[in-house]
């Protein structure tokens, strides 16, 4: 085979491999054809976050890469206006590319101590090693090495010491430098829950 023909065949092989690689990259969403990360708008948020642009901005920084995000209709039963109604539950999830990425949940209850509340939240989320921060009556995140959960306990009603437990749980750990974002997101959810549950005492009211 003459050299010119060899070079022609080699060029065709290279072109075929390049075309195949480009096709695979496009199909599997890998560079250089990776699609841009999706965004969440404030108007798309579930009631747990209100319509806060701040919450939307935090979610766009905090959530892992996905081409698109989906926020299904919020579940739960909000507290009514009756003074005897001591029930409140809300649950909001956010998914990306078919995987659940985040859960925000609030429920009303009466916890005997900060320790008992922490243990319940950690048990529900498989979180470990809480680190306290200042919000509501009590609040914590999991350690920066496994930053997955932020929770806020808020006083709500004066009788029966009925209070709200709000937590935001990520499916996978966030970078350690996002701890302030996760804490603020839990605060926003707790503030929204305090309004939705028609609470009558400040969130930071000490336990009797």
pLDDT at 83: 80
Interacting residues of 130 by C-beta distance below 8 A, sequence separation 6+: 118, 122, 140, 141, 142
Write out pLDDT tens, residues 132-180.
999 999 999 988 777 899 999 999 998 778 999 999 999 888 888 899 9
Write out pLDDT tens, residues 31-54.
555 788 899 999 999 999 999 999
**pLDDT(16) > 60:** no
Half-sphere exposure of 48 (CA within 13 A, CB side): 31
What is the C-alpha separation between 97 and 158, in angstroms, rounded? Answer: 43
Better-predicted residue by pLDDT, 87 or 8? 87
Half-sphere exposure of 145 (CA within 13 A, CB side): 3
């Amino acid at each position: 085979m003459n050299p010119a023909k060899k070079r022609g065949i080699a060029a065709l092989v290279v072109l075929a491999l390049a075309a195949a690689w480009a096709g695979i990259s496009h199909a599997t969403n890998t560079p250089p054809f990776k699609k841009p990360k999706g965004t969440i708008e404030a108007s798309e948020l579930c009631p747990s976050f209100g319509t806060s642009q701040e919450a939307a901005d935090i979610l766009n920084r905090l959530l892992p890469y996905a081409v698109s995000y989906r926020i299904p209709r919020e579940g739960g039963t909000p507290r009514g206006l009756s003074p005897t109604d001591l029930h409140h539950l809300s649950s909001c999830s956010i998914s990306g590319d078919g995987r659940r990425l985040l859960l925000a949940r609030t429920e009303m209850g009466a916890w005997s101590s900060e320790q008992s509340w922490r243990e319940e939240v950690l048990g529900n989320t498989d979180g470990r090693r809480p680190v306290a921060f200042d919000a509501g009556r009590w609040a914590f995140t999991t350690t920066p090495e496994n930053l997955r959960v932020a929770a806020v306990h808020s006083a709500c009603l004066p009788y029966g010491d009925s209070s709200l437990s709000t937590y935001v749980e990520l499916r996978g750990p966030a970078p350690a430098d996002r701890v302030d974002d996760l804490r603020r997101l839990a605060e926003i959810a707790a503030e929204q829950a305090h309004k939705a549950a028609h609470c009558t005492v400040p969130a930071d009211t000490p336990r009797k």
